[in-house]
Structure 1
Amino acid sequence: MHAEQSGQPFALKARVYYEDTDAGGIVYYVNYLKFMERARTERLRGLGFDQSVLQQENIIFVVHSVSARYHASARLDDELVITAEVMEVKRVSVRFRQQIKRSDGTLLCEGEALVACVKADSYRPRPFPQELATAFRRGMTLESGAEWGDT
């Protein structure tokens, strides 16, 4: 379903289904954000963290802000490649740079998402568990090509 390689942003493959399109047969603009969310979720899973387990530990993630720029339209049955690259890790937030491309390499949409770590019972900000912050930073340095610890 997904593959993560050293030196490359995490990538998730997905297919455009009828339910993703509008009456004109192209992907409805907000659905690109849904594809990005799925890639971030799978990125987290690829680092060894399941959101259902984290929620039991009183940890959830909320999108603080998101930006998107659209370049071309995806259509029914297109295969998409969605990346989720960690750009910045702070005490209670992580910033992702994301792209959605058609499998032929055509850039369809790109954007950034700032995601905050909050307590599930109060929705108040909380620091990332050290293990998770370390995993995010390790992924970030692998993607940038830097040695872990150089950042």
Structure 2
Amino acid sequence: MGQDTHDALLGYMDGKRHIYPLVVFYEDTDAGGIVYHANYLAFAERARSAMLNLLGFTNRNVAERHKVAIAVRHCTLDFRRAAQLEDRLTVETRVIKLGGASLGYEQKIMRGEEELVVIEIYLACMSLEELRAQRLPEELRTVFSRYLDVNKD
């Protein structure tokens, strides 16, 4: 698979936002063809992982190189409208906080210009050996600082 094709699967950066496209499949929905509520978290997780990959990292290489994991500490979801089977959606991700051992994101799941779900999620960097908070690795901090966007839309 060529680099351009691979990068297309990861979405793209639009200024300080990462845009991740997805399609709602049957497995994402309930019996009525509506996206099951917990799947919005899965969509958001995929988008954050794709952004990390697009920026040159993977969860695996961060864990192996720095002996840390990035884990969810706090999350809120504001459900505004439902997505349905075969909808084409995008997940827009912005870095809104960069702390010593933490990252904060705002993620919007969109159908065209319509906001379906707004997620605010905070992640903590923790040592894999001690399972305690640990400073974000400097190379991650440097990359994410380029995308820090504290302005509200």
Q: Gapped runs of 5+ residues in structure 2?
A: 1-8
| Distance in structure 2 (CA, Å) of the matches to 1:20 and 1:122 | 36
Q: Which amino acid aligns with 2:42?
A: K
| Distance in structure 2 (CA, Å) of the matches to 1:66 and 1:133 | 21
The C-alpha deviation readout for 1:82-129, integer Å capped at 9, x for no partner, is 011000100100000010001x22111001000011112332111011
RMSD across aligned C-alpha pairs, in angstroms?
A: 1.4
Instruction: Please tell me whether residue 118 in structure 1 is matched to residue 119 in structure 2.
Output: no
Matched-pair identity in %:
32
1:37 is aligned to: 45
Q: 2:100 aligns with which of 87, 91, 98?
A: 91
TM-score relative to the length of structure 1: 0.88
Q: Gapped runs of 5+ residues in structure 1?
A: 145-151
Please state whether the residue corresponding to 2:113 is helix, strand or coil.
coil
The C-alpha deviation readout for 1:12-55, integer Å capped at 9, x for no partner, is 00110111001111000111011011111111112111111111
| Distance in structure 2 (CA, Å) of the matches to 1:38 and 1:134 | 22
| Distance in structure 2 (CA, Å) of the matches to 1:122 and 1:17 | 39
Please state whether the residue corresponding to 2:27 is helix, strand or coil.
helix
1:101 is aligned to: 110
TM-score relative to the length of structure 2: 0.87
| Distance in structure 1 (CA, Å) of the matches to 2:43 and 2:130 | 27
| Distance in structure 2 (CA, Å) of the matches to 1:5 and 1:97 | 15
2:5 is aligned to: none
2:57 is aligned to: 49
1:132 is aligned to: 140
| Distance in structure 2 (CA, Å) of the matches to 1:31 and 1:119 | 28
1:3 is aligned to: 12
Equivalenced residues, count: 141
Q: Which amino acid aligns with 2:77?
A: A
Moved over 6 A (4+): none
